[in-house]
Each structure stands twice: as C-alpha cells, then as structure tokens.
Chains A and B, each alone.
Chain A
Amino acid sequence: MTEMVYGSMPARVREPVLPRWWRTLDKWSMTAIFVLFAIGLLLGLAASVPLAESNNLDRFYYVTRQAAFGGLALVVMLACSMLSPAMVRRIATLGFAASFVALALLPVMGTDFGKGAVRWFSFGFASVQPSEFLKPGFIVVTAWLMAASLDLNGPPGKLLSFLIAAIIAVLLALQPDFGQAMLVLFGWGVIYFVAGAPMALIGSMIALVGAAGVFAYNASEHVARRIDGYLSADVDPRSQLGYAMNAIQEGGFFGVGVGAGQVKWQLPDAHTDFIIAVAAEEYGLVLVLVIIALYCAVVVRSLFRLMSERDPFIRLAGTGLACIFGVQAMINMGVAVRLLPAKGMTLPFVSYGGSSVIAAGITVGLLLALTRSRPQGQMSDILFRRGR
C-alpha cells in the first residue's frame, strides 16, 4: 500500500542476472571446455615434466603455471559469457583496437626469445602474444562490418573488413607467422561465406588457390620439396612428425599406460604442438576420440544454435569464433596424423601456453555469450506475419 500511496515506481520485473545466464547458456559446450581443460592438465602432468627437468625447474612447474593461467582463462571465459551481444561488440572492438596497435608495435618492441620470429611482448614474469588476442576481436569487428553491410544504405563492410584482414595477415606474415595469418584470413572467409558470398566467387577462389598451389609447386623447388615430403609415404622417423606418428602407433587403442610414454622425452614440443601424440601414446585412441568429439561438439553445437539466430551480427560473430576455435584444433591434430603439412598451432585449452589458453578463454567466452538462447521473434512472427 505504501508504495501505491507514495507513488514510488515499481521495480521492473526482471530475472536476476545469474539465473538468466545459467538458463540461456549452452551448458554442454561449457562443460566440454571444462573437460578439455582438465584433460590438458592431466596430459601436462606427463608431457611437461621433461622440459621442466631440462630447465632445472620443479617437475610440475609447467603444470602449476598452466593451472593458474587456465583458471584465469576459465574465469575470463565465464565473465565473457555473461556479456550481452552489444557489450560483446563494444568490448571486442576496443580489445581489437588495442591488440592491433600491439601487433603493429611488435617489430619495434617485441622479442623473439631466440626462436627467429618476433611474436611476443616480454613482461619478465610472463610474455604476451598479441596475435592470440587479436583473433577474437578481429572476428567480432568483421562480423559487425559484414552485418552492417547487409542493411540498405549500410557501410561497405565487406571491403573494409577485407582490408583489415589483409593488413593483419601482412603484419603476421612479416613476423613471420604464416599459421596465424592463414587463420585470420580463414576467419574472414568463413564470415563472408555465411554472410552470403556468391557461390561463383567461392568456386573461382577455390580454383585460383588450386592454380596458385600448382604454380608454386612447379616454380619453387623449396615448396616442391616440402609438398613432396608431405606426400611421400615415408616419414623420417627422426623428425618430429616421425616421433609423433610412432607414438600414436605405440599407443594403440588403450595406450601404453599413464606416464609410460616415450614421445615426451623425444619431442621438444610435446607439451604444446604435439600434446595429442602424448595423449595417444599414454591413453590410447580412446582419449584421442574423446578429445576430438569434445571439439566437434563445441563447434557443431554452436553452429546449430546460431542457425536459429535472427540477428545477423550475432550469427556472423558466433560463426567466426566457433570456426577459428575448431579449425585451430583441427590443424593441430591433422598435423600429428599427417593429414596436413607441418604447421605450429596449439590445441586450445589442452596445449600448454599462457597467452594461448587465455585467448582461447576469451574466444569461447564470447562464443558462449553469443550462443545464449534469447527470444528470436518467433512470437511476433506468429502474431504479426504480414502476408509474406
């Protein structure tokens, strides 16, 4: 009564934030991510010990480090997943601007850690790879531009986003980091594809890439040797690939046993690029299939949820994020089984790496924010269908 008498405004009837978040979230995808991270820690217990020993560190130094970064990444992921689409766009655009500047400054202020490619900013206790953080921001900005270009009298978003993609690809290629450059171009291509790229253009692009590949094969001896090495049936058993393949074969269906694997002692990248080989050797095909199924589930579930999404920006941004996440996992595992030529790429959430895991947390967090179920105007369709 008092409220009625004094005329205070009634509080808006609105569902509290957390329950709404929990109700609309893609809980299966989130669970899959948690499981992947747990598998990553489990594998790290075995795979990172040789490196820690050779660096005179505590045996589980890298595991504790990964647990700390991974915990941070999961918090970031949960926080991101609570954002509204508008906030996603806002924050991702700001993040993109910041990481783009960071990427452009790399040649001046970056370090290469003696690995030949300037990819990192070093902050003493940790190092940051801006290209990892650039990708989710780039995807969101591209989706925004593309979605805007769909409107009548909208900006020329396709052209603008392509220019941005090209500039980033060139900056990455100069580091050189062709893997990330290709990933950025792939992300742009996927968004353009879903935004309605003409099929004729897609067909001619595929033909052009094929022709360029054939030309490179014939014109450059170096490229030809790489491709021949990839196509030939024999793998040099002393190469990284040879060890990885041998590990998968040794593992068989149920693995050689926890901690009994050998490949982690032979491969310097066992805890990052070739973690799947460690998984295959120690736990066998079973665990590998579980990992593949988890990645596949996250990607395909997200894409299916986005199919019913009406907002073009949400649809495009979600597609781009899901695809770069999935493709990164796909390339990493495809290299280990020699379906793809060697290319250094981490397995998101499973491989060791601070920047990598936090960036993956941001990517999946934004993806979860965009795939949350929200009213899609079905009711208005039913109520106000205007004779179309």
Chain B
Amino acid sequence: MTRSPLRPLARILQARAKGENPDGIERENVRLRNEATRDRARTRAQVRLLMLSAGFMAAFSTIGVQMGSLAASVPTEPRRSGAGAEVSATRADILDRNGRVLATNMLTHALYAHPKDMMDPAGTAAKLAAIFPEMKAPDLERRFTDGRSFLWLRRVLSPEQMQAVHDIGDPGLLFGPREMRLYPNGTLAAHILGGAAFGDESVRSAQVIGTAGIELGMDARLRDPAQAATPLTLSIDLTVQATMEEILSAGMVMMNAKGAAGILMDVHTGEIVAMASYPTFDPNDRPNPVLPKDAEPGDSPLFNRAVQGLYELGSTFKIFAAAQGMDLGLVGPETMVDANAPMRWGKHQIKEFEGKNYGPLLSVSDIIIKSSNVGTAHIALMIGGDRQQAFLRALGLMDPSPVELAEAAKVKPLVPPKWPDIVTITASYGHGMSSSPLNLAAAYATIANGGFKVTPTLLHGTTRPAQQRILGEQASRAATHMLRRVVTEGTASFGEVPGYAVAGKTGTADKPRRGGGYYDDKVINTFASVFPANDPAYVLIVTLDEPVETTGPKPRRTAGWTAVPVAAEIIRRTAPLLGLRPQVEVSPLDDITAVKQ
C-alpha cells in the first residue's frame, strides 16, 4: 500500500515531540489539500464544460443549417445512383453495309413476383397458368405460398401477354424492363450474328451479352456504353446474303447434300459481303440441339461450316503450286511438266482421278485445267517443302482466320507436324492438311487481286494496314487466266455465267473416316471461283458436304457436277446486285447490217 508522506512534516514532528496525536494535524492538512485540488478541478471543469457547450451548440447549429439548406433546395427527380452496381443494358445495333438493321434492341418486360404482396396466390397462379402454357397452376401456387418474398416468373413478355398479366391485377406481380436482342431478319446471316442472351439480371435491367458469332466476337465493343449510340456496321450486304442463302439452301437440297457453305468476299479489301452455312437456325430463338453420340459437330445447325469446318479442300489447292512455281520462275504457263501417272514416291503411289493418265508430259495450264495430281506434285517438288510451306502460311491457310467471329480463333487448320516430301506432294493437291472455306477464300483473293495479302473481315470500311505483296503480279494474272480456262475448257464448265467471266477451280476430297482412312462414297465438293476474270472483284467459295448428283445413270460426286452449278447460279444472281456490269460480247457487225447503217 502506498502511503502519502506525512505532511506537514515539521508540525507533525513537533506534535510527536510534545506527545500529541499527529493524526488530527494530518487529517486537517489532507482536507485542505483536497479542497485546493477540487478548486483547481472546478476551474478546469468550468472551462471544459464551456467547451462542451460550445461544441454542442456548434453541432446542433450545423444540423439546423444543413436542414435549412436542404429545405431551401428543390427536390430533384430521382436519379440513378452512380454506384457501379447498376446493370448496364445498353448494346449497340448491328447494321449491314447499306445501313439495314441486322440486330437491334426491343424493350420488353420480365415478369417477377413478390408473393408476400399477393392478394390471392391461388387465383393468381391459376390465371397465370391460363396465360402461359408452360406454367402449372399447382406448382406456381406452391411457390407463391412457401414463404419466399421474390421469384422470377418469365424472362421476356410479349405486349399481349403483359396486358393479360396487367388484367389479373394482382399487386404482387411486377414487371422489370428488359432490353431484348432482336434479329428482324430471322435466320438470315444467323451464323455471322450468332446470338445474345441475358447476363447479369436485376429487377430494373438485364445485361445482354453475346453468345456466339459477331455478338460474342465484338461483345466488348457492342457493350461499351461510350459507343452504344454508334451502330456496328458489318461488311455484309443483306440482299446478297439473302440471295446466296436462298440458292445455297436450294442447291443443297438439289444436290442431296447434308450441308453447304458459301462465302462471297471482296478480293481487294477482304470484306465478306455474304457468308452462309447450312443447316441454319434462328438467332432470335437459338436452339440447343442434342446431337446423337456418333454425330459430327458439323451436324449441329449452330456449326458455321464456312469458318469452323476444317476440310481437305482438294484440287482447289493446285493453283497455289502453279502460281508459286510461276512466281519463282521455275515454270511458265506453257512449260511441260512430267505428268506420267501413277507416280511412285517411296512406298506411296500418286494416282489421277479415276485412274486416268494425262501424261507423259503436260503444260502447267493443262495441269490446272485437267486437274492433274501428278503434274502438281512435280511442280511442288520443284518448289520444295520449305518454300511451299512459307507460301501457304503467307496465304493464311495454316493459321486461324482473323475474322471477327468468336468461333474463328478457336479453329486452327490441321497441318502435319512434319513436312517430308510426301506431304509436299499431297498438300499441293489439297490433301493431308485441312483448312476452312474462309481460309481458302482469303487465299484465292490473294491469287486474284494481283498478289496482295488479304485479311478477311466482317467490318465495313475500317482502315487497313498497307498492302503486303506475297505474289508477283505476273504470276497472279497468269494464275487467274488459268482459272478462267478451267471454266471455259476444264472441269468447271457448268460455272460459265454469260457476261461475268467466271474463273475458278473445283475440288473434290474424300471425307476422312472417323478413326482413320477415307470414305469411298462421301466427299466434300468445293468450287473456289473468282469473277470477273479480266479484273477480279469478288471471290466466291461454295462447299457442299456429301453431295451426290443423281440425274445421270450413275451417281456423280465431283465438284464440277455439284458445287459448280450452285456457285454459277449464285454469281448469276448476285453479280448484278454487286454492281458489276455484264460484259456483253459485241459481235462484229455483219456486212449487211453495216451497210444498212
């Protein structure tokens, strides 16, 4: 125990000396000291109480002033709070190159319920079930009465349905505004547009996010609030697209094919004017097909054959070997090349179609016109594997297509890991490596446009990097001329369209069997064409999956009988739409007419 020292010591000692009790003196001293402390404490407390009073007065005045300034201000309309929790529902429209709407938004409403506010859950459930066939009254009633305070009933309502729900008149049924993605053209350009779905949802709005196609590929751009007012303009021409889809679907039926794809591309800019894949779907109501186990992915209507389909594109590749050979100066159009079939290379035997033999020697032009595997193989061997690979890569046949579709980046052409001479041989006529029709379209555009690299795109009028030459102009022109002769004298004679000088190359490839080898009677037919041949403007690729032409005595499965007529019809119908004038051959006036004039 601490004990304060005896104070005042002098008096206490004095008292002790006198034999008196010093406690009284000490007590008196303590009392006096306590009084002194209390006096000090009181003065200090007075100051502090004054400070407290001032503080309280200041605080209450502040509240009063704040109340006054609030009362003096005009109440504003409720604004949306700036907090980031708000779900942004804005999404830019998508237009075609002429400003026609491909995708837009429509205001609809979602239906939700606050069961605790319901007047008559059972009656409301019954009435709702009468409006919406997918709802069951007992199920709804159970959910309305199990104590929850909120539930979603329907994502999207039509105006008629909304009015019907209004007419129920139950205060527990509420509507939340929804921006719905609408594709007014239905199935048109379905694979390009892809589709959209609701993302984050709140009662007040819902996010619309792309699920496939350009909607997913350009999702960030479309959802960017800063650019929401600026529609996204695609390079698609709606009229041409519609024409191509009509002919492609008819052609697919006529040729008994199970699938078809078509691409129409500007050879100079790489802009895709039309692109279609069959079978197709409606992006407004994107299906979720359940495919049997042994089905190919391409059997799904959602599958975009033009971009996702990897096929051995067959003889259409031959022009690349011819063009590169001419560009390198190894051959000229009339150079005679060994074409003696069958050709032996190690243990492999290279044959021509149906075991023909075009040899022993064939000019380069004739190799293309007659579609000689052996002749192409010899040209490719002259070029050599490394240069061939580099050229095919430069044409974009070995890399995923850079087009703005979400699916494109995931599809990498199938290329053999090593490149021995036998691969050089097979690749030269389009076997042993697979790429998509879109890759082929870009490569053909390069052949036709004078040798400049082409980057396929779906966006209209964007600025492009400086053109990069990968093929000499001479070789380009010669190759185009050869392609023209394929139509006039060779395998694609059905491809002639009066006035539009179609040039092109057919390709027929056996379909690879799952688990190795090839089918005997299943082929992929491709016709890669360029028109008009004298000044190429567009490239058109038509691919048919498992077509068979049955008008003759035996089924015909070559591209010249299936893909070529379909492509010719597309060109005949779309070339005028594209603004190309037919070049009518003016026959020289005969003498009599001349005299008359």
Binding site for B on A (CB under 8 A): 150-153, 190, 193-196, 229, 232, 234-238, 242, 245-246, 248-253, 280, 284-285, 288-289, 292-293, 295-296, 299-300, 303-304, 306-307, 310, 312, 315, 319, 323, 326, 330, 333-334, 337-339, 388
Contacts and interface: CB of A to CB of B under 8 A. Distances in A.
Given A295-B60, A296-B56, 5 more contacts: A196-B45, A242-B78, A248-B71, A333-B63, A388-B36
A304 B74 CA distance: 39
Nearest to A323: B52
B67 A330 contact: no
A249 B63 contact: no
**Chain A at the B interface: mostly helix, strand, loop or mixed?**
helix
A236 B82 CA distance: 8
A299 B63 CA distance: 15
Interface string B1-28: 0001000000000000000000000000
19 contacts: A150-B38, A150-B41, A152-B37, A195-B45, A232-B83, A234-B83, A235-B81, A237-B78, A249-B74, A249-B75, A253-B71, A285-B67, A303-B53, A315-B45, A326-B60, A333-B67, A337-B67, A337-B70, A339-B63
Nearest to B69: A337
A234 B41 contact: no
Nearest to A150: B41
B570 to A, nearest CB: 57
Given A249-B70, A300-B57, A303-B52, A232 B63 contact: no
Interface of B: 4, 30, 33-34, 36-39, 41-42, 44-46, 48-50, 52-53, 56-57, 59-60, 62-64, 66-68, 70-75, 78-79, 81-83
List the 7 shortest-distance A-B pairs measured between CB atoms, nearest first: A237-B78, A249-B75, A236-B81, A285-B71, A296-B60, A337-B66, A248-B70
A234 B82 contact: yes
Nearest to A247: B75
Contacts of A310: 38, 42
B37 A194 contact: no
B52 A284 contact: no
A194 B49 contact: yes
A66 to B, nearest CB: 24
A246 B75 contact: yes
Contacts of A237: 78-79, 81
A364 to B, nearest CB: 15
B245 to A, nearest CB: 48
B294 to A, nearest CB: 52
B78 to A, nearest CB: 3
Contact of A190 (B52, B71, B82): B52
Contacts of B33: 152
B70 A319 contact: no
A319 B82 CA distance: 43
A292 B67 contact: yes
Contacts of B74: 249
Given A234-B79, A334-B63, A196 B44 contact: yes
Contacts of A300: 53, 56-57
A245 B66 CA distance: 11
* Residue from B52, B57, B62, B64 whose CB has the most chain A CB atoms within 10 Å: B52
Contacts of A253: 71-72
Contacts of B50: 307
B53 A196 contact: no
Contacts of A150: 37-38, 41
Contacts of A306: 49
Contacts of A232: 82-83
B53 A280 contact: no
Given A236-B83, A249-B73, A312 B30 contact: no
A194 B52 contact: yes
A299 B70 CA distance: 25
Nearest to B204: A238
A388 B34 CA distance: 14
A195 B41 contact: yes
Nearest to B30: A152
A319 B56 CA distance: 12
B38 A312 contact: yes
A152 B34 contact: yes
B41 A312 contact: yes
Contacts of A388: 36, 39
Given A249-B70, A337-B70, A194 B45 contact: yes
A151 B50 CA distance: 24
A306 B63 CA distance: 25
A109 B324 CA distance: 92
A299 B81 contact: no
Nearest to B1: A153
A251 B56 contact: no
B72 to A, nearest CB: 8
B183 to A, nearest CB: 35
Contacts of A334: 59, 63
B1 to A, nearest CB: 10
Contacts of A280: 67, 70-71
A296 B56 CA distance: 7
Given A152-B33, A194-B45, A284 B82 contact: no
A151 B45 contact: no
Contacts of B82: 232, 234
Given A249-B73, A253-B71, A339-B63, A196 B41 contact: yes
A304 B49 CA distance: 7
B37 to A, nearest CB: 6
Contacts of A292: 60, 63-64, 67
A232 B81 CA distance: 10
A326 B56 contact: yes
A125 to B, nearest CB: 27
Contacts of B71: 248-249, 251-253, 280, 284-285, 288
Contacts of B59: 330, 334
A253 B72 CA distance: 7
A277 to B, nearest CB: 10
A250 B60 contact: no
Nearest to B82: A234
A245 B71 CA distance: 9
A289 B78 contact: no
A193 B53 CA distance: 13
A295 B68 CA distance: 17
Contact of B46 (A250, A296, A307, A337): A307
A245 B46 CA distance: 38
Contacts of B73: 249
A288 B82 CA distance: 30
A230 to B, nearest CB: 12
A361 to B, nearest CB: 21
B52 A288 contact: no
* Residue from B49, B52, B83 whose CB has the most chain A CB atoms within 10 Å: B49
A269 B38 CA distance: 47
A229 B75 CA distance: 20
Contacts of B81: 234-237
A285 B74 CA distance: 14
A173 to B, nearest CB: 25
Nearest to B77: A237
A245 B44 CA distance: 41
